[in-house]
Structure 1
Amino acid sequence: MNRGPATWKYWRNDQGDITEQIDPDGNSTHYSYDRQGRLLEIRHPDGSRHQLGWNNLGQLLEEQLPDGGQRKYRYDALGRQITRQDESGAITQYQWDAANRLAQITLPGGATRAFTYNAYGKVTAERDELGRVTRFEYADNLHLVSRRINPDGSQLRYRYDNSRLLLSEIENERGEHYHLDYYPNGLIQQETGFDGRRTAYEYDLNGQLLKKTEFGDDGSELVTEYQRDTAGRLLVKTLADGEKIHYSYDALGRLVNVDDGHWPLAYEYDLQDRLTTENQGWGTLRYEYDNLGQLSHCRLPDGSKLDYRHQPGGRLSSIDLNGSRLTTHQFNCGREQQRQQGLLLSQYQYDEQGRLQAHTVSQQKRNLFQRRYAYDANGNLAGIDDSRKGNRSYHYDPLDRLINVRGTTPESFAHDPAGNLLGQGDQPTANLANVKGNRLLMQGDRHYDYDAHGNLIRERRGAGQKLVTEYRYDCQHRLIRVSLPGGSIASYQYDAFGRRIAKTVDGQTTEFLWQGERLIAESGDNRYRSYIYEPGSFRPLAMLDGEGPLKATPFYYQLDHLGTPQELTDYSGEIMWSAKYRAYGNLATLDVAEIDNPLRFQGQYFDAETGLHYNRHRYYNPGTGRFLTPDPIKLAGGLNSYQYVPNPTGWVDPLGLSSKLANCPKVKSIDPNEVRFSQTTVSYNKIDNNGNSYNYDDLVSSMRAKGWQGDPIDVVRMPDGQLTSMDNTRVRAAREAGIKVEARERGYNDLVTDSEQQRFAVKGKKPDSWGEAIELRVGKQSPKRFGKETPYGSHEPPKLSGKE
């Protein structure tokens, strides 16, 4: 296969299966199969192997992973999976009823989760690990969830239209309503939020977004328009204030320039379409890759060079900074066991479910400090035993919301039924927050005002509410100016992708550079810093203080179970920064401040001028535990558009868009040829969360250029032991690009969240588990024989629809 000057070569056996692939750099990957066409082995360019063992019924029994780990699977006489053993030896057990329905899951450690069904096989009750029961009711004759009754008695209601059975209304726990209206083809025409905000959409004949209109509650309108070329690629985005953003592509369809008239962005690529140069404003990043397509060298904007080395199988083994060792890493069973940072050695221990259990830091065999973590049966953090900062215990309500912290920094919290944080500390009932449509209106002596689009514009506090902080936004709801009670002014600027590139406080400007979604460097006020992260994550690894290879001095982050910085240490192991936090991210005490550290929860940057945390797409207020503006991705981010996370001791939100469990399944690299598809077709033309248009070829080019970008996909281990994905487009593109996919492996019986239920619903029917989500998706495909012949998905790539 040729693409410009680059050539990918493929060899196939008589069955059409790929047996060898050679990329444009000459790296070869080999595949072998048994007589039934089942994949037996993948031999990667670095010599590592992924081997699979099957029984005569076609069920996967074991895997030998490229990094040496092993997984095992067992089935009963009816072919149902009954045990799964992971790389660490932890076993999950599954029990089934006489109707082949999952009755109980026993997790590593012994905790159980059980399910009850109606005559139609729909879950009517779910008992969690602590014995709490969530109940479900269904609309008559539709088998669609109409009501969810939570363990505390609060309720969610769902209503559907009569013709297409599409979700038309959600009633939240406060009795507020969210409405959805559709075009005849099923695309959303209009949505009205719990707070009354209304947004309308217009599309072309290919289903591509042409116009988005946001209606303010004062009658104002914000209109964003999109202009594309004949391939569906976005050429011009016209904002509501008349500003235009222009996008340019090369002959191969790769994005090469983005110009908003203020901060130009430019990109260059290698033969495999991987990003080699990224120019933004005054800074440039340069990249090189190894034979597995992993980042091997990175030149930072200040000229500093990072070299990444990996073990066979792809695990990180070390990072060098300007020719000297920065860190070394040792992994076992897919988990980091040991890390050397200067003279400090960190050792990590995990429990049966892969959660961090202990972090011990030593210096030349002398223990300096240790943190131990305990969890309750439902997976919530129960306590931290910290040899430096003291002990804390955590307590939760029936919905797993944090209500009490005891120990060195005691706190208490109150919530309303919809998950709004009403009060912190020992506030009397009269001082609890007043909330409407999930907007915080008043809390204690603080009063909050909003603009016509739900953005916080004013906070009034103190005697007579005379202390006033005012916030101003642009037409994309980005914070651009803050006026503080003392007279100080802070202003903020952003690039075409909405990343903050500068802030000015009382005349002093700091500029920021980015590596994808992560802050990579800042410069201002005679200070220059770079930030290094654990690969593929938002967990900071090191801060480089000083500009240039001769001045950049490393300081090392020591993180907690969430990935929040607890200390910064220098090469010798001296603690240079240390803090104690409150549960929602405020600093309780700053113990050591020899240097400054602005990083907080994953993806957050502390602004000292306002006390807010910049969280990529929004600003977070740790004092209220809320965002200042509603979620730009609406229901995709959850039902409460201002909420940070459901529980700050176990969840994070690195992008300010959608929260996720900090201990969610470990992300790993998987060969896309191992993953089956759940669809027969995918759309050639796409729209991202920001309304920007792109197409399938753009995605392939981007993957070749930059490797895997964005969130990992979810792949589901089906009853036959193989993997199937809900994200068909990116798996297909990864195959074509010749890269691995970054994925979280889900069990067939693992439960989906509320927002995932909404995303995966088919004609209003909502799945309860990841396996059911796959089966619903497969079952709705055309032709119908697809679902009958391949009920767990197919290795045959889906066709592209909408490509001219």
Structure 2
Amino acid sequence: MKLPEGPYSNGLLRTKTEPYIGVVPFLTASYLYDSENKTTSISDTSGKKADMTYSGFTTTSVTSVNSNPISTIAVTKNALGDIQSKTENGKTIQYQYDSNSKTTQIKDPEGKNVNFTYDLLGHKLSQTTVNTGTTTFQYSVSGKVLEQRNANGSFLTYQYDTLDRLLRVVGNASNGSTQTVQLTYDETGAANGVGKLTSIFDAIGKTDFQYDARGNQTKIRKYLNQEDLTLIFLKDYDLGNKITTLTYPNGSVIHNQYTPGGYLTSITMDAPDGSSSGQPVVNYVGPLAEGTKFKVQRTVGNGVQTNIYFDPILQKPTEIVTGIDADVYESLTYDYDLAGNITKIDDLRNPGRTQTFQYDTFNRITNATGKYGTEDYQYSDGGNLIKKGTSSYSYGGSNQHAVTQIVSPAGIKNYSYDSSGLMIHRDGDTLEYDPMGKLHRILTSDGQVLTYDYDYSGSRVRKSNQGDGSSVVSVDGTYEVSFRPGYSPLHTLYVKGLSGDLVSQLSLESVSLLTNAQFENSEDSTIAGLFLNSKNALCKGISKDCKEYYKNRIYKKYLAGLEILFSVQHGRIGNQFRLTIISLFGICLFGYLGFSILNSKSFRMLDSLRIGITPILILSVFMGFNFFSCGLLPGTSNKNGDPPWVIFPSTIPVDTPSVSSTGTSSGGNIGGTPVPGMIFFHPNHLGSISMATNGAGKPISGGSAIGTSFVSYKPYGGILRTDSYGPDVFRYKYTGQEEDKETGLLYYKSRYYDPEMARFLQADSIVNGESVSGSNLYMYVDGNPLSYRDPAGQNALIHMFNQIVKTMIGFANKNMPSKATVEKNVRAIGRGIDHGARVIGRGAAGMNHNIQARFYKQLHLIDHAGRAVMRSVDHSWREVLEKSTRIGREMGRGIDGAVRKILSGGTYSRNHGTRMWSLDHSITGKFLGHAWQDILDWDWGKILAGVAIVVVVVFFPEVILAGLEIFDLKYLAGSVIASMIFTAAKLIIEGMAGEEAEDGRPYNTN
């Protein structure tokens, strides 16, 4: 991939080339300026052009594509440079400011205002909108918010410590109820907790944090008081502070691998009992050239592959093909208008599902045609949805952007809100909120009572149904536990990939959770345990029986036979790491043999050769272990055992409802509830899950459902039940958000969304003053649900597949290094390796000093014991070799005599041999004699020490990782392993060199 370039002239940017593949740039923009160095034109090779004209304080920009105008924006500023008005395609937003250029008013195209007031220091004192009423703020002398009071009478208070760190948040509801969040810092029991937040108490329980030396959270422990349940997450990071390993509460582990460019390229999984490791869950590859087309590939563990073909200039998907082997599950093509909006999704496999779309000048969808029929959409100037298909919307009351009534052929639905813009009545349902302003309870018109509880961050942790006693606790959409009377708790973990891609879910009924007891050892006892009693150190973070875990990881993985070292699976070496080490030592051994044959001065020649060889070997090992993860860490690329989707195949109970159903099958599970086993998800371009497959790569089926898995969506996220099939066994659907099937709502993290209404139930907390509809706080993605998604309910982002393409090609990476930076970094690699080696050496020396200082007596005993063992082994080897020498010489003389007698025609005699056949004059004999003497002279202490290091590196890398983890140095594993390899090679070579002749001359065979 080529990196962007930007030639300048007289300090002005003239051309800019975006990242591209191959030789020919995809997109190059050209800039023109007037005599005052104001930009007058920006045009690029896609045909897009923006022409700017200036008149006083007004700048007008006309954007066109291939000479066809698509937008006109006029911006007027005052003398201070503050924008006074912005007119986009005829709709105007106006702004007012105070003397400090703080925005005091935003007026939308309908004349509705958002007003702000400030104190003399610029702190916002109040915010008034037509959606939320007036919210006021109070501040401390240091500028920290002390109180936030809302229009509905609720308010929040904040307390801080002497360092201005937040200590307490108290929510006060208008009915007098309260809720408290308490924060604690600097606790001594938390690793690297000085200066860090170490624990939080909230309404659902307690959350603890631990950190590495760079401030990354390495352990999160969440205790849920109602369930008396503790969930522990462990994380490791690389030098770029990206997560490389995530351990789930049930002990399952995923490993993330990244490209040098920094984007996620693959995820592998380890089973909690160690019987399966390194199993690829998802791989992202690309960009790839396929003829004249470009694509990126998404391949999940069961072999199902999604090819995302894209326009290299627009970076937009043009075709999506999903399938396995010769089976094609989905084949879609995408058409766009000049503004980049999707105008057609052509289903090549099922033409009846083809959809077409139309838009207005503000890129809001106005018409959609598909299997759901034809739906028209109309909007007010300020973004209120007035018509959606056969439904008409009304807005009334003080909250002028909130829907109060929807009339359709199915009937009339009424809605009402409180003075802060929170929906409190929804077509017969009553909605109640907690003191923090989060939706807490829904009393449905049919008598159900649904409750929702949140943690300190506002994330929903618990969802309960009082009617059937079921509940679900979830942590950040990563791990959940489902409770249902009469059934075992069901634990489900979720694997998420690039750009929020939901890849798979694994649900298990019988699990062993990580416990506090596994982390209670102090640093001193852990260090001592690593040398004297390694159980505590090595069993840390393992939820299963430790002995069984390492039996699976070691016996099954490493001692099952030599074929494991050389096995080829799926077209690649099964164990690259071990093959690398074996090759390295093979080179060492062949080098020794070569030096002997060539009569080199024993190993003195290595002194000159190692100067040139060492940097090459260091660079290769460093690159191999640290950049490309060739199997050093457990679970990174070397597969072991059966994959989890084979060990835990998905099982669909007979009472599982169909996705085509709006509720439950009589007396059965609620739709969307996971079932035991592992399944994989396959999203559309928005990230909406359209299909789920089992471990064999086939769409799931079973339960009360008809057909195999497929979910069909309408433009604003409603599920087309008449065209959706298969069992409903996953919660996350439209744009990857959680569906609450009991209510038909989608949980968007910060608030709730009704896909049938196509509006949020609560007002947004963020006002986007730059958008024509930015003051409409209930609108979904500015009316363009085909191109955008809203991951957290607060901001519209480009759809998922577009984001994946941009990320993988480099457009989305704003930190992409320049060509000069890359060259500089390459030149610095050598210096960095040398510096890194010295740092490791100094760190090892310091570590050695600290360990000796703390455990001198123990290490002294270990040292004496080790020396005794090594002397015993060395003496035993020498005795064995001496006996072998005598036996070998006797056998050699016998064989040699027999051969000579045959070749001499019977004239040779051991007692009277001939000069021609004399062993004393045989060059070969002399060479073999010298070689055998070399073996006798080897320093077997060094050789065995080197072999011991090799054994640890090859078969027990977990021991090394456990030791590094104690000092928060796990990210240096690659460099430490490389150092150990060279140390082992050095010991073996020096041991084989033995004692040279005093004059240093080579053996003389003459």
- Asked if Structure 1 and Structure 2 have the same fold, meaning a TM-score greater than 0.5 normalized by the shorter chain, the answer is yes
Aligned to 1:469: 429
Q: Does 1:238 align with 2:170?
A: yes
Distance apart, 1:556 and its partner CA: 1.5
Q: Partner residue of 2:104?
A: 168
- Confirm or deny that 1:94 pairs with 2:94: no
Alignment check: 8 A CA contact 1:170 1:177 kept: yes
| One-letter amino acid of the counterpart of residue 50, structure 2 | R
The equivalent of 2:420 in structure 1 is 453
Letter in 2 for 1:580: S
| Greater alpha carbon shift after TM alignment, 563-572 vs 586-595 | 586-595
Matches within 5 A, 1:648-727: 648-662=785-799, 663=802, 666=807, 667-668=812-813, 670=815
Partners of 2:456 and 2:132 in 1: CA distance: 29
C-alpha separation between the residues in 2 aligned to 1:597 and 1:190?
43
C-alpha distance in structure 2 between counterparts of 1:644 and 1:629, whole Å: 12
Partner SS state of residue 318, structure 2: strand
Tell me the alpha carbon deviations over residues 155-201 of structure 1, each in whole angstroms, 9 at most, x when there is no partner.
2222223x223221111122111111110111111111124610111
Shift of 1:400: 0.6
Tell me if structure 1 keeps the 8 A contact 2:4–2:818.
no
Q: Deviations over 1:479-536 (max 9, x none)?
A: 1111222222211111121111111122333223324xx4433423346353534446
Distance 1:672 1:211, change over 3 A: farther
Cα deviation for residue 313 of structure 1 reads: 4.5
Structure 1 partner of 2:133: 197
Q: 2:472 aligns with which of 511, 523, 526?
A: 511
Q: How many angstroms apart in 1 are the aligned matches of 2:743 and 2:280?
A: 37
- Residue 391 of structure 1: CA displacement? 1.1
Residue 109 in structure 1 maps to residue 46 in structure 2 = yes
Q: Deviations over 1:684-713 (max 9, x none)?
A: xxxxxxxxxxxxxxxxxxxxxxxxxxxxxx
* Equivalent of 1:406 in 369, 377, 387: 369
Cα 1:309–1:125 change in 2 (3 A) is closer
1:587 aligns with 2:723: no
Q: Is the 8 A contact 1:421 1:624 kept in 2?
A: no
With over 3 angstroms needed to count, the CA separation of the structure-2 counterparts of 1:553 and 1:103, relative to structure 1, is: farther
Which structure has the highest helix share of the two? 2
- Alignment of 1:574 with 2:512, yes or no, is no
Residue 515 of structure 2 corresponds to residue 555 of structure 1:
no
Matches within 5 A, 1:26-45: none
| 2:205 matched residue in structure 1 | 263
Cα distance in 1 for partners of 2:451, 2:76 equals 51
Q: Distance in 2 between the 1:191 and 1:520 partners?
A: 37
Q: 1:275 and 2:207 equivalent?
A: no
2:794 aligned partner, one-letter code: L
Q: 1:107 to 1:612 in 2, by over 3 A?
A: farther
- What does residue range 54-73 of structure 1 map to in structure 2 within 5 Å? 69-73=2-6
1:186 is aligned to 122
| Residue identity opposite 1:514 in structure 2 | V
1:385 aligns with 2:346: yes
Cα distance in 1 for residues equivalent to 2:498 and 2:207: 22
Question: Cα 1:669–1:107, aligned 2, differ >3 Å: closer, same or farther?
Answer: closer
State whether structure 2 residue 688 is matched by structure 1 residue 564. yes
Q: 1:149 aligns with which of 87, 93, 97?
A: 87
What is the deviation of 1:624?
1.3
Q: Distance in 2 between matches of 1:528 and 1:223?
A: 38
State the distance in 2 between where 1:575 and 1:134 align.
47
Q: Does the CA-based 8 Å contact 1:308-1:320 persist in structure 2?
A: no
> Is the contact made by 2:73 and 2:87 (CA closer than 8 Å) also made in structure 1?
yes
SS at match of 1:587: coil
- Measure, in 1, the Cα distance between the counterparts of 2:755 and 2:744: 8
Deviation at 1:127, TM superposition (A): 3.0
Aligned counterpart for 2:502 among listed residues 533, 540, 547: 540
What's the CA shift for 1:616? Answer: 0.5
- 1:267 and 1:488 map into 2 onto residues whose CA distance is 37
Judge conservation of contact 2:385–2:393 (CA < 8 Å) in 1: no
> Is the 8 Å Cα contact of residues 282 and 298 (structure 2) preserved in structure 1?
no
Per-residue CA deviations over 1:104-152 (Å, capped at 9, x if unaligned) read 33345323333322245x523433545144343536645533333332x
Q: 1:77 to 1:237 in 2, by over 3 A?
A: closer
Out of 659-668 and 190-199, give the one that drifted further: 659-668
Given the alignment of the two structures, is residue 626 of structure 1 paired with residue 589 of structure 2, yes or no?
A: no
Matched with 2:855 is: none
Q: TM-score, normalised by structure 1?
A: 0.69
Task: Please give the per-residue CA displacement for 1:570-608, whole angstroms capped at 9, x wherever unaligned.
Answer: 222211231110111110135322342221234521001
Paired position in structure 2 for 1:349: 309
**Match for residue 281 of structure 2?**
326
| Cα distance in structure 1, aligned partners of 2:74 and 2:390 | 35
The structure carrying a bigger strand percent of its residues is 1
Identity, in percent, stands at 21
Write the deviation string for residues 278-302 of structure 1: whole angstroms up to 9, x where unpaired: 1113211112234544322221122
Secondary structure, aligned partner of 1:72: coil
1:247: how far off? 0.5
Kindly tell me: are residues 401 and 657 of structure 1, through their superposed partners in 2, closer, same or farther at Cα, counting changes over 3 Å? same
Deviations 1:312-356 (A, max 9, x none): 444423423421332233233898434243132222211122222
Q: CA deviation at 1:238?
A: 1.6
Match of 1:639 in 2: 775
Q: 1:420 aligns with which of 369, 384, 393?
A: 384
Q: What is the CA-CA distance between 1:228 and the residue it aligns to?
A: 0.9
- Once the two structures are TM-superposed, the CA of residue 396 in structure 1 deviates from its matched residue by 0.2
Q: 1:335 to 1:520 in 2, by over 3 A?
A: farther
2-structure distance, mates of 1:254, 1:568: 41
Q: CA deviation at 1:270?
A: 2.4
Corresponding residue to 1:223 among 129, 133, 155: 155
Cα distance change on mapping 1:546 and 1:116 into 2, 3 Å: farther
| Number of aligned residues | 593
Query: Could you tell me how far apart the structure 2 residues matched to 1:301 and 1:489 are?
Result: 30
Distance in 2, matches of 1:141 and 1:79, equals: 24
Asked whether the 8 Å contact 1:75–1:83 carries over to 2, the reply is no
Residues 196/615 of structure 1: CA separation in 2 closer, same or farther (3 Å cut): closer
Return the alpha-carbon distance in structure 1 between the equivalents of residues 434 and 508 of structure 2: 33
- Cα RMSD after superposing both structures: 3.0
Q: 1:642 is aligned with what amino acid? A: Y
Contact 1:283 1:513 in 2 (8 A): no
Is 1:490 matched with 2:457? no
Residues 377 and 388 of structure 2 are in contact (CA less than 8 Å); yes or no, is this contact kept in structure 1?
Answer: yes
Change (3 A) 1:403 1:159: same
- Structure 2: which amino acid aligns with 1:652? R
Can you give the 5+ residue segments of structure 2 that lack an aligned partner in the other structure? 187-192, 224-229, 272-276, 289-293, 512-643, 649-675, 701-708, 822-968, 972-1006
Whether the 8 Å contact between 1:603 and 1:653 is mirrored in structure 2 is no
Q: How far apart in 2 are the matches of 1:366 and 1:297?
A: 34
> SS at 2:416's partner residue?
strand
CA deviations 1:651-710 (Å, max 9, x no partner) are 11111122222246644384899999xxxxxxxxxxxxxxxxxxxxxxxxxxxxxxxxxx
Superposed displacement of residue 635, structure 1: 4.9
Q: Distance in 1 between matches of 2:348 and 2:164?
A: 57
Contact 1:158 1:169 in 2 (8 A): yes
Please say which structure displays the higher CA radius of gyration.
2
Return the letter of the residue paired with 1:131.
P
User: What is the distance in 2 between the residues matched to 1:108 and 1:489?
Assistant: 58
* Separation (CA, whole Å) in 2 of partners of 1:373 and 1:149: 31
1:95–1:102 Cα contact (<8 Å) kept: yes
- Partner AA of 1:202 in structure 2: Q
* 1:374 and 2:335 aligned: yes
**In structure 2, how many angstroms separate the alpha carbons of the residues matched to 1:452 and 1:292?**
46
The alignment partner of 2:500 has SS state of: coil
